[in-house]
Amino acid sequence: MAVELRYFGVAFFEVKTEDGRTVLIDPCITLCPGSPVKVEEFKSPGAVLVTHSALDHIGDTLEILKNNKATPLICPRNIKTYVTRNGLAHAEIGTMVAGMMREAAGVKIKAFQTLHGGYLECDDGLCLADVSLAYMLYLRPNLKLLHMGDTALTSDLKMIGEIYKPDVALVPIGKFVGAETELNAYEAAVAVSWLNVKKAIPMHFDPQTQAASPLEFAEHVKTMAPGVEVIHLPLGGSLLI
């Protein structure tokens, strides 16, 4: 059996575990230009993970959870406040800060703080701020998947590589429409060299204005971390790992 990874744009990945359960990470659909999927397609996911409070990462979490009331949510604390204020007081919510580990959908999930921010304005003027996170999913003894969320280059990535040893990294390399991400293609390749992963999958770039960024990222990785395989997934593309 293998784990299936599917990419749907921005930082949205679906992870299907070996026992058939699904984990959605940063499910941005409505705001994603050219999204190949619709919200209603995601029925009974095993868990939804959100890295931080930005609209392109919270995405359609509220609607997915309203349609699937038994699905647990893993997120920073301010997102718990946001979803409970918006009709999800019933939800099973596991809040996370750096260093915590929880289990959802049969998967152990560890949180790392990233060099980024989480900030959200509510309709009544309340501002919700908290940490921005990356998540490590322990999918089997020899497969640890790191979703980096959004981050600038930080030496914490070296620590993650040396101590926690991820096998696959989902790496932000550019920008979402109208919003910059801190890592450019070169800096993202430096991060990959520090993480010492086997595979790196670029994400969070604008396929219209940054179509060349995955190629630039792959070239930099080839120079700085020649043993790493870079896999560019198109929107809707999947990979067995």
pTM of this prediction? 0.96
Put residue 26 in one of left, alpha, beta given phi > 0 → left and psi -120 to 50 → alpha. left
Query: Tell me, what's the pLDDT at 177?
Result: 65
Task: Return the C-alpha torsion angle 112, 115, 59, 218, nearest 10.
Answer: -90
Among the residues of the chain, which ranges form H helices?
55-58, 61-67, 77-84, 156-159, 185-195, 213-224
Residue 178: per-residue pLDDT: 60
For residue 127, the model assigns a pLDDT of: 82
Q: What is the CATH number of domain 4-233?
A: 3.60.15.10
**Residue written as tokens 């959100």?**
50
Q: Sketch the domain layout of the chain as residue ranges.
A: 4-233
Which mean pLDDT values do the consecutive 10-residue runs of the chain (241 residues) have? 95 97 98 93 97 95 94 95 87 92 97 92 82 97 97 96 98 76 90 98 89 93 97 97 96
pLDDT of residue 33: 86
What are residue 202's DSSP bridge partners?
Answer: 171
The CA distance from 65 to 57, in Å, is: 15
